[in-house]
């Protein structure tokens, strides 16, 4: 059976128009049906009571609507919510909703697990289970619209589980679903893609006309230090990443987890300021959170503040971020599906191939390939 949720809006419109014409339905039915996918979503077509019963029955038979199942919801003392979603094949992912005044930021996943094994990140200890389909990525927003108390995120960040640019084919479609006025309609400048720097897909993202924001997981100002923290440095070297960013027309943010004695030295500050100025990037300084390699120690909070001040003195916009959702393991780098959570076990498996992203020169891994 086909899945309309996995199609970009133009493709969904075309598929529906062809199917409806074959049934002898009036063309205006397309405009009635499409909003029920994303704008005013329904769990099943029988709930779309503005449509005739016979058409709803036919839609449920031909175009059933898949769903993510909310298995666990945790609420932090600071209001942050962590959501554990069970996927149709039994795999699981997490997303995080961060309220702040009128702003509601949803941190979404693009893979079940992650193959990159960055030293400071808990998700990498899972290994890669599989890539998410486009609908599974965008449905992390759709399910919030379908909740008993609906929530529409104002901002979406690809900073959950997985490396988005290793799943580029699905992420490219998901970006359209998130942004297009005929689907979820979230402004492109309110959607951020975070990547360690998968260069082929980064070039594809740079070609997009929408003003999506880019965050680069940098975490070290030199190749040697970055290699010790991030194995992807073997494949995509820091100088090549910095060169690729020059072709990116939008302002970049460097994400930088500050680790005591590893990347918080004065020489690190000086070099980071140099490359940030060259790239025209701002820097988000993040506290190290529990969950990664046990030998890493967070830089003291005072060092976080002084490091940010040092960058600013050198002409770089820098912000020292505070932890959100730490008490429910929802903070940066903490998302991980552990053994023994409700609904079954999710065990780590071997690394996937990180040479090329899906949709850019090689097929995807896993059942979505």
> pLDDT tens digits for 108-136?
999 999 999 998 887 777 889 999 999 99
Q: Which domain holds residue 26?
A: 4-62
Which of 34, 62, 90 is a domain's end point?
62
121 is catalytic: no
Do 120 and 17 sit in the same domain of this protein? Answer: no
Q: How confident is the model at residue 1 (pLDDT cuts 50, 70, 90)?
A: low
Condensed to tens digits (0 to 9), the pLDDT of residues 178-233 reads 999 999 999 999 999 999 999 999 999 999 999 999 999 999 999 999 999 999 99
Q: Average the pLDDT over each of 32-36, 54-58, 357-361 and give the range with the smallest value.
A: 357-361
Do 222 and 288 sit in the same domain of this protein? Answer: yes
Do 25 and 100 sit in the same domain of this protein? Answer: no
Closest CA to 330 of 57, 59, 50, 83: 83
Do 41 and 75 sit in the same domain of this protein? Answer: no
pLDDT of residue 365: 29
pLDDT of residue 362: 29
The β-bridge relationship of strands 213-217 and 191-195 is parallel
Residue 278 CB neighbour total at 10 angstroms: 11
Condensed to tens digits (0 to 9), the pLDDT of residues 240-293 reads 999 999 888 788 999 999 999 999 999 999 999 999 999 999 999 998 876 556
Maximum Cα–Cα distance for the chain, whole Å? Answer: 72
3-class DSSP state of 32: helix
Do 41 and 100 sit in the same domain of this protein? Answer: no
pLDDT of residue 126: 81
- Candidates 94, 204, 233, 255; catalytic one: 94
Which of 62, 92, 109 is a domain's end point?
62
pLDDT(46) > 60: yes
Do 13 and 119 sit in the same domain of this protein? Answer: no
Into how many domains does the chain fold? 2
Q: What is the pTM of this model?
A: 0.88
pLDDT of residue 356: 33
- Candidates 107, 114, 118, 332; catalytic one: 332
pLDDT(13) > 60: yes
Which of 26, 41, 62 is a domain's end point?
62
Do 353 and 223 sit in the same domain of this protein? Answer: yes
Do 104 and 189 sit in the same domain of this protein? Answer: yes
Q: What is the CATH number of the domain that holds 300?
A: 3.20.20.70
pLDDT(363) > 70: no
271 is catalytic: no
Q: What is the CATH number of the domain that holds 34?
A: 1.10.150
Do 287 and 328 sit in the same domain of this protein? Answer: yes
Do 301 and 363 sit in the same domain of this protein? Answer: yes
Do 124 and 159 sit in the same domain of this protein? Answer: yes
Do 49 and 188 sit in the same domain of this protein? Answer: no
Residue 114 contacts residue 142 (beta carbons within 8 Å): no
Average pLDDT, the chain: 87
């Amino acid at each position: 059976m086909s899945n309309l949720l996995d199609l970009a809006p133009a493709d969904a419109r075309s598929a529906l128009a062809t199917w409806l014409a074959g049934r002898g339905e009036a063309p205006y039915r397309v405009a009635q049906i499409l909003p029920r996918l994303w704008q005013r979503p329904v769990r099943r077509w029988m709930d779309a009571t503005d449509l005739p019963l016979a058409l709803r029955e036919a839609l449920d038979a031909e175009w059933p609507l898949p769903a993510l199942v909310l298995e666990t919801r945790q609420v932090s003392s600071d209001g942050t919510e962590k959501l554990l979603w069970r996927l149709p094949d039994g795999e699981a992912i997490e997303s995080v909703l961060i309220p702040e005044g009128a702003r509601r930021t949803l941190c979404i996943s693009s893979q079940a697990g992650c193959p990159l094994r960055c030293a400071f990140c808990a998700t990498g200890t899972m290994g890669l289970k599989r890539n998410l389909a486009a609908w599974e990525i965008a449905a992390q927003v759709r399910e919030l619209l379908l909740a008993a108390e609906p929530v529409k995120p104002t901002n979406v960040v690809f900073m959950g589980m997985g490396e988005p640019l290793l799943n580029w084919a699905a992420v490219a479609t998901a970006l359209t679903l998130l942004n297009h006025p005929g689907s979820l309609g979230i402004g492109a400048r309110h959607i951020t893609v975070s990547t360690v720097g998968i260069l082929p897909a980064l070039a594809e993202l740079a070609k997009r006309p929408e003003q999506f924001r880019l965050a680069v997981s940098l975490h070290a100002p030199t190749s040697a230090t970055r290699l010790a923290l991030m194995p992807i440095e073997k494949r995509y070297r820091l100088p090549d990443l910095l060169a690729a960013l020059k072709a990116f027309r939008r302002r970049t943010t460097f994400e930088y987890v500050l680790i005591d004695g590893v990347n918080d030295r004065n020489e690190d500050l000086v070099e980071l300021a140099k490359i940030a100025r060259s790239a025209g990037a701002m820097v988000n300084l993040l506290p190290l959170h529990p969950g990664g390699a046990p030998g890493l120690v967070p830089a003291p909070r005072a060092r976080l503040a002084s490091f940010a001040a040092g960058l600013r003195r050198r002409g770089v916009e820098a912000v020292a971020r505070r932890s959100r959702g730490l008490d429910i393991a929802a903070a940066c780098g903490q998302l991980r599906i552990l053994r023994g959570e409700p609904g079954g076990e999710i065990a780590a498996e071997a690394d996937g191939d990180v040479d090329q992203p899906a949709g850019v020169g090689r097929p995807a891994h896993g059942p979505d390939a």
